[in-house]
Amino acid sequence: MLNVLAPALLLLNGLAAGVLLGTQLGGFPYLASLPTDRYVHAHAFFGQRYDPAMPFCLVGTVALDAVLAVGTADTAARTLFAAAGVLAAATALISVTKNAPVNRWMRTIDPEHLPEDFRDPRREWGAWNHRRSLLTITALVVNCAALGFLL
């Protein structure tokens, strides 16, 4: 079972961590540098591409961490899988409550005709994205450590 679940876990967690690391290294700095109208267009473009994949990767990571935490006899590995699952779940919670709503909202805005009451979400969105990036990358490190106890 471990020989199937462990690679799947590392794949899903690694994809999520890679996407979020990419947003920290290039995606968000680029978005933050744009004028507001171009930012709205670019954010909508990126958001519609990442939103379908990221929930699958994060929910898969949480589920596989839970299965491995319950099914592993090694106490250290079990504890680490559980901790990584909590970190991934916290990422998913931030995504659902803080980032995804902004992504959906940005897709409804016409960059050529910004609403008069438009409030630029970059600062807050970026801060929450930074937090979830750190959580997901930490989950990947913790998952790698857990697997180290089983090799």
Question: What separation in angstroms does the CA of 63 have from each of 56, 58, 76, 87?
Answer: 10, 9, 19, 12
Q: What angle do CA 42, 21, 25 make, to 5 degrees?
A: 65
Predicted local distance difference test score (pLDDT) of residue 45: 85
N- to C-terminal Cα distance for the chain? Answer: 14
The 10s digit of each residue's pLDDT in 6-34 is 999 999 999 999 999 999 999 999 999 99
Domain ranges of the chain: 2-112+119-150
The 10s digit of each residue's pLDDT in 60-98 is 999 999 999 999 999 999 999 999 999 999 999 999 999
pLDDT band at 46 (very low <50, low <70, confident <90, very high): confident
pLDDT band at 50 (very low <50, low <70, confident <90, very high): confident
Stretch 133-150: mean pLDDT: 98
Predicted local distance difference test score (pLDDT) of residue 33: 97
In eight-state DSSP terms, residue 1 is: -
Predicted local distance difference test score (pLDDT) of residue 121: 95
Predicted local distance difference test score (pLDDT) of residue 51: 75
Q: What are phi and psi of 74, to 5 degrees?
A: -70, 125
pLDDT band at 48 (very low <50, low <70, confident <90, very high): confident
User: E strands, 63-142, where?
Assistant: none
Taking 3-state DSSP, the helix, strand and coil percentages for the chain, each rounded to the nearest 5, stand at 85, 0, 15
Predicted local distance difference test score (pLDDT) of residue 47: 77
Predicted local distance difference test score (pLDDT) of residue 44: 85
Distance CA 99, CA 43 (A): 11
Predicted local distance difference test score (pLDDT) of residue 82: 98
